[in-house]
Structures are given as C-alpha cells and as structure tokens.
C-alpha cells in the first residue's frame, strides 16, 4: 500500500499553508507562534521551494538560489526564525563586473557605488546623490507610470554604461526590465545598496534544516509529498483543501503556490468576480532561468580574486531581451569557496542566465537533451576566460532549464521570480473575493527573492491572524467536504 503522508493529520486546522517556499514557511511559522494551529503541505519531498539544493555522488552539494540577498535578511531571520539562523548570514564582499564597457570589483553598497560612479564613470557627485535619494525614497504607494528606463534617462541620460552597472544585477536578481515600474527597481536596488550582498553560511540545506526544526518547535504540522489538488470554497468562503485524496477543513488557507495556478487551477474562476478574473488573467509571469552547476575536484582551490559573484557579458550593450535569448552572451557566476560550507574541501561554480520557458518547451526530447549538453559545454568554454584550466579541474557539470524549474516547483512556465508588478495587487485582493483565502509568494517583483518572499509571508500571516480573530466571533463553520 502507498505510504500515507497525512497519517495522523487532524481533520481541521485554523490555517492550512500550501507550499513550503520561504513565504509559505515564514507565514506558517509566524501563525503558529501566535497560537494558531497550522498545517503546512508541500508537494515535493523536501522543504524550501526555490530555496533549494541538490547533492551528487562524490559529495558535491549545489545551491540553486543562494547567490546573494540584501542585509534585511538578518533582521527578518532574527525576528521570524531564530538567532542561530540570523547569525549565519555573512557578507559577500567581492562583486565583479566584466563586460566590453567596463571591468570592476565592488562591495555593492551605496558608498562604493557612489565612489565608482564619480571616479570611474566621471559623473557629478550631485547627480549620483540625487539618484540614490530618489531610489531610496520610492515606496509602494508612489506613481507607477514611470519606468526604470525613464528613471535612468532622467538621471544619467545617454549613459549606457551606467545603466548597465545599475541594472544588470537587478535584472539577474528578479528578472526586471527597463520597461518595469521604476518603484519596483528603486525598492529592490535600495535594499541591496543599504549594505551590500549577503549569503548564508553552511548552505541552503543547513538553512532549510534549521527552519524545519523551528517549524516543528513552533507547533506547525509539516507534511511533505502532499500535493494539494483543490482549495475548497463554499459561499465565497474558504473551508479547506483536498490533498492526496483527503479533505481537510480550515478556517483559512494561504497558498504559496504560483499565483495563477492558485486562482485558476486550485480554486477555479467560478469563485471570483469577472473583473478579478480578468485582472488575474492579465498578470504577466516573470521569466525563468537556466543554470550550469560545476564542481571542482576535491582540494582543487579557486583563486578568491575571482570574486563571489561575477556579472559577465560579451554583449557590447546591455539589453534586457538579449539576456533572455538562447544565444547566451551574459552569465552570472557564483563562486562558492570551501568557506561557504565550513568543513568542506569543495569549490563550486554556478552559472546562471535568465531564460524563456517557451524556448525550451518547444524542443523535442532529443533536441532538449542536446541543447542542455550544449549549454554545459558553452558555459565551460566561457568560464575558461576566468578559470583557464577549468576543464581539467572539473569533477562534475550539469545543467537545469526552465523545464527543470517548473518540474520541481510547479510554477507555471518555470517562472523563477513570480510575477510582474501587477501580480501584487491581484495577490492582495484574493481575500476580498474569497473570505479566508490568501496568497503569499513571489509576486510583483518587490515581494520576490528570499527577503521579499519571507517578508511577504509575515505580512500575509498578519492578515490571516486578524481574520481568524475576527471570524472566531462568528458561529464556527461546520466541518466540510
């Protein structure tokens, strides 16, 4: 008989959280700490969502999305998780750029960027200060019609090199383009510029393991291999979920799954107003990614002057559509030295590029495999520019594509960074449509990435907690089917 992954689960909870990405886990933990009973359901066999890793024979451990996050993670981990987690966050100090327009190394914070923009890019100090202040002053309620491109034209007209410096890392971090609203750029950029780029010592596996333990301590009922088929709604109120063939009741549900699959696949559009359905349909998903994972032979060290993160490109100009093209000219390398995982003797390199799902989905099985091999080979060739004897030193290399990302997270089109800006308003409006139903997960650019997802989880947990208190004063819902 198949194993019952829901064995011992109760028939009803205050809240069911669907998905254990950083937003889902943080929402679950926050709610459990306020005293609510919480069931966390994850379809995969491990927790973390995109915050994940994989192991290969020979002892290689690859991180998928641990390239860097803003300093704000320290505070959020401290407050919503634990001191031990917060204390493992360390800065990455060597961020490099290498492209036909410039080559430089930076600590990637406001002070150093200001210095570079004045000394290396020869900009007047007043313009640089004004730009940083404008970016930092942006908030969610500001005008959304100004685009990133217009923002740059206002402060640095005609300076393609400056735009490249300011934009390329953010495009990698969240898929945003020059056509996206300036405020989403301003918020994310300022988060990074506050103190630079940080990482988690010990790797993603250690982080997720610590979080898992914390969830259990907080009293969350954590279940893996539980694929939620349906969110149950009656009279415009959520009443539970259908999972692994069983119905479980809940007074509230938080979906950490993709925004569109939540609305259209798990709930069904018949439970929403026409206008809302139209808005939800119009939400654009963000792009996906390709990655190449390379492990060096044990004990084969990388020279730390390679940096921690290297934004490399052979394209003469920075163009967001060129970043998505299968004809890859731009790659971001993350160099992981043994110190990333104290006690390890491994050096690893992960190359990331933005990619379009359609480009990979249309390939035949054979072409797909061939393209994947080609991706690995061309990446190693490109890397030889920085690590000349890379081929001889490699112990393992493999690639992932948008198809891989979709497979593991069930995100439509393998979207790496959730939705474009408009997704946030749709995500926030769900509870107005279906009482007790919430969405928390990468949306709207500003709520994506490790920090954005985590904080969004807290914001939504606050809404849920408030709803639970309000709805507790009404007659309790009968257990449902």
User: Which spans of this chain sit near another protein (rule: CB under 8 A)?
Assistant: 30, 34-35, 75-76, 79, 455, 458-459, 461-462, 465-466, 469-470
Instruction: Say how many CA atoms lie within 13 Å of 292 toward its Cβ.
Output: 23
Give the Å distances, CA to CA, from 223 to 42, 241, 411. Answer: 6, 14, 20
Q: Which does 450 bind (CB under 5 to 8 A by kind): ligand FAD, another protein, none?
A: ligand FAD
Tell which positions 2-21 bind ligand FAD, by CB under 6 A: 18-21
Residue with tokens 């257990």: 479
Question: In terms of CB distance, is 135 or 383 closer to another protein?
Answer: 135
Q: What angle do CA 291, 294, 297 make, to 5 degrees?
A: 170
Q: Which does 67 bind (CB under 5 to 8 A by kind): another protein, ligand FAD, none?
A: ligand FAD
Q: Which helix (H) or strand (E) holds 368?
A: helix 365-383
Residue with tokens 């606050």: 462
Beta carbons of 50 and 409 less than 8 angstroms apart? yes
Q: Which does 469 bind (CB under 5 to 8 A by kind): another protein, ligand FAD, none?
A: another protein
Contact status: 29 vs ligand FAD (CB under 6 A): no
Contact status: 450 vs ligand FAD (CB under 6 A): yes
Using CA atoms, how far apart are residues 418 and 444, in angstroms rounded to an integer? 7
Residue 408 C-beta: closest distance to ligand FAD, Å: 7
Q: Which does 35 bind (CB under 5 to 8 A by kind): ligand FAD, another protein, none?
A: another protein
Residue 427 C-beta: closest distance to another protein, Å: 15
Contact status: 407 vs ligand FAD (CB under 6 A): no
Whose CA is closest to 188, among 364, 386, 449?
449
Q: Residue 313 burial (CB < 10 Å; 0-12/13-18/19+)?
A: buried
Contact status: 41 vs ligand FAD (CB under 6 A): yes
Tokens (6 digits) for 443: 């949306």
Q: Which does 407 bind (CB under 5 to 8 A by kind): another protein, ligand FAD, none?
A: none
Q: Which does 471 bind (CB under 5 to 8 A by kind): ligand FAD, another protein, none?
A: none
Indicate which single residue of 30, 330, 413, 448 sits in contact with ligand FAD (rule: CB under 6 A).
448
Per-position x/- string for 221-250, each x denoting binding to ligand FAD as judged by CB under 6 A, each - no binding: ------xx----------------------
Using CA atoms, how far apart are residues 194 and 307, in angstroms rounded to an integer? 20
Per-position x/- string for 348-387, each x denoting binding to ligand FAD as judged by CB under 6 A, each - no binding: ----x-----------------------------------
Question: In terms of CB distance, is 65 or 171 closer to ligand FAD?
Answer: 65
Using CA atoms, how far apart are residues 189 and 217, in angstroms rounded to an integer? 35
User: Coil, strand, or helix at residue 175?
Assistant: coil
Using CA atoms, how far apart are residues 52 and 472, in angstroms rounded to an integer? 37
Using CA atoms, how far apart are residues 94 and 212, in angstroms rounded to an integer? 31
Indicate which single residue of 320, 409, 413, 455 sits in contact with ligand FAD (rule: CB under 6 A).
409
Tell which positions 53-92 bind ligand FAD, by CB under 6 A: 64-65, 67-69
Question: In terms of CB distance, is 121 or 408 closer to ligand FAD?
Answer: 408
How many residues touch ligand FAD under the rule CB under 6 A: the total is: 39
Strand ordering across the sheet containing 288-296: 103-106, 95-98, 309-313, 330-336, 348-355, 288-296, 394-400
DSSP count for the chain of H helices, then E strands: 18, 18
Q: Which does 49 bind (CB under 5 to 8 A by kind): ligand FAD, another protein, none?
A: ligand FAD
Interface positions with ligand FAD (CB under 6 A): 18-24, 41-44, 49-51, 64-65, 67-69, 227-228, 256-257, 289, 291, 352, 405, 409-411, 416-417, 441-442, 448-451, 453
């Amino acid at each position: 008989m198949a194993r019952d992954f829901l064995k011992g689960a109760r028939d009803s909870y205050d809240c069911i959280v669907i998905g254990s990405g950083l937003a889902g886990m943080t929402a679950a933990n926050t709610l459990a700490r306020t005293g609510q009973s919480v069931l966390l359901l994850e379809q995969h066999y491990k927790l973390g969502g995109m915050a994940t890793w994989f192991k290969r024979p020979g002892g290689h451990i690859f991180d998928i999305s641990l390239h860097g996050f803003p300093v704000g993670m320290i505070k959020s981990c401290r407050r919503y998780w634990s001191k031990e987690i917060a204390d493992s966050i360390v800065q990455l100090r060597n961020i490099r750029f290498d492209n036909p327009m410039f080559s430089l190394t930076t600590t990637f914070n406001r002070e150093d960027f200001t210095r570079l923009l004045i000394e290396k890019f020869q900009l007047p100090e007043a313009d640089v200060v004004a730009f940083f202040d404008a970016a930092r002053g942006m908030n969610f309620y500001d005008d959304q019609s100004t685009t990133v491109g217009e923002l740059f034209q206002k402060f640095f007209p005609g300076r393609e090199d400056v735009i490249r410096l300011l934009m390329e890392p953010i495009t990698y971090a969240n898929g945003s383009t020059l056509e996206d609203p300036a405020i989403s750029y301003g918020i994310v950029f300022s988060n990074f510029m506050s103190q630079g780029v940080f990482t988690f010592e010990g790797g993603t596996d250690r982080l997720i393991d610590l979080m898992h333990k914390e969830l259990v301590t907080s009293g969350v009922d954590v279940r893996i291999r539980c694929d939620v088929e349906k969110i149950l709604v009656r009279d415009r109120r959520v009443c539970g979920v259908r999972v692994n063939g069983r119905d479980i009741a809940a007074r509230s549900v938080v979906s950490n799954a993709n925004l569109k699959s939540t609305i259209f696949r798990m709930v069904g559009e018949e439970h929403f107003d026409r206008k809302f359905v139209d808005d939800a349909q119009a939400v654009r998903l963000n792009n996906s990614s390709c990655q190449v994972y390379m492990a060096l032979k044990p004990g084969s060290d990388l020279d730390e002057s390679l940096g921690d993160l290297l934004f490399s490109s052979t394209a003469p100009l920075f163009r967001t559509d060129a970043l998505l093209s299968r004809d890859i000219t731009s790659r971001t390398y993350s160099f992981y030295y043994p110190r990333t995982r104290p006690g390890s003797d491994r050096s690893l390199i992960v190359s990331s590029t933005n990619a379009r799902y359609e480009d990979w989905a249309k390939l035949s099985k054979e072409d797909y495999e061939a393209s994947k091999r080609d991706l690995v080979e061309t990446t190693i060739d490109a890397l030889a520019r920085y690590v000349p004897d890379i081929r001889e030193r490699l112990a393992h290399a493999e690639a992932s594509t948008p198809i891989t990302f979709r497979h593991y997270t069930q995100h439509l089109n393998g979207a790496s960074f959730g939705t474009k800006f408009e997704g946030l308003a749709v995500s926030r409006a769900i509870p107005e449509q279906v009482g007790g139903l919430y969405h928390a997960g990468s949306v709207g650019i500003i709520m994506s990435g490790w920090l954005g997802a985590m904080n969004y989880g807290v914001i939504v947990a606050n809404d849920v907690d408030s709803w639970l208190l309000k709805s507790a004063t009404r007659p309790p819902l009968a257990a449902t089917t």
